[in-house]
Chain A
Amino acid sequence: METALFYFFGAISLIAAINVVVQKRVFYSAISLILCLCAVAALYLMLEAPFIAAVQIIVYAGAIMVLFLFVIMLLDPFSAAILRDKKKSLVYAAVLLGILALATIVPLLNSYNPSRAPRNPISADGGTGTASHFGQILFTEYLLPFEMTSVLILAAIIGVVVLSKRRP
């Protein structure tokens, strides 16, 4: 059952990802990416990370992609001429590069022996992915990085406001 679900959601995410690349209109690309993100969120659920799955749906597929769609509609790509993709030779070179990367990395992956990796015993409080455990680690061990992300977001907010302000 789990195997079937993995292949189902994996196939959906992969097909949606390929559709993002081959689609001519950027609006359909964005919609396809949302489908891909949702399929990956389902995979997160299967990996016993329900909090990450929820954040993926809410923040990624919700907030970030809505921002993308907002800008796409604001710039109105439907009335503009569709941008043709780059030269055919570059496309072939890119696909070749992808195949080359695959051929390089797959043997590396195969040489990694998962059984040698340390496997911690499952804790008694019901898995590692629960929101309470996640929050406990986040607010103790990773408190400083967590606070620093707020500075990062503040910098992003200020940058966006400065960028999009109309110069007098």
Chain B
Amino acid sequence: MDLMHYLILSLLLFIVGAVGFVIKKNIISVFLCLELMLNAANLSFVAFSRHLNQVHGQIFVFFVMVVAAAEAAVGLAITIVLYRNRNTLNVDDADTMKW
């Protein structure tokens, strides 16, 4: 399989994640779509790593995973605090800082 197939698949996964990020209302669903986008970026990193025959792309994927783990932990903690204080999971109910 050549590089282009993997890039197209990665692009499709990213677009699905981005669309979901915009249209979902549940804050946990938004986080899941975020993970989807990170995963799509990782796929293209590994595809390029294989294509160029260098390990650097895989090391980047490793760092992206570390950041994703930290982001998931902090984001879910924020979600729990939001639910505790406002008793909602709706992103539209937490728009105090939006306006």
Contacts and interface: CB of A to CB of B under 8 A. Distances in A.
A86 B23 contact: yes
Contacts, number: 218
Given A26-B29, A52-B46, A67-B76, A60 B54 contact: no
A74 B58 contact: no
Give the size range of B's interface with the partner.
35 or more
A43 B43 contact: yes
Given A44-B46, A46-B1, A133-B55, A164 B81 contact: yes
Given A14-B16, A43-B6, A102 B89 contact: no
Chain B interface main SS type? helix
B9 A13 contact: yes
A72 B75 CA distance: 13
B51 A117 contact: yes
Contact of A156 (B6, B74, B90): B74
Contacts of B33: 20-21
Interface in A56-114: 56, 59-60, 63-64, 67-68, 71-72, 74-75, 77, 80, 83-86, 90-91, 93-95, 97-98, 101-102, 105-106, 109, 114
A47 B50 contact: yes
Nearest to B76: A71
Interface string A122-143: 1000001100011001100010
Given A149-B63, A156-B70, 10 more contacts: A26-B32, A47-B47, A60-B68, A80-B89, A83-B26, A94-B19, A95-B19, A102-B11, A106-B8, A129-B49
19 contacts: A20-B36, A29-B32, A33-B35, A40-B13, A51-B58, A67-B73, A68-B32, A71-B80, A75-B28, A83-B89, A84-B25, A86-B92, A97-B19, A97-B22, A102-B15, A109-B11, A114-B4, A117-B52, A145-B63
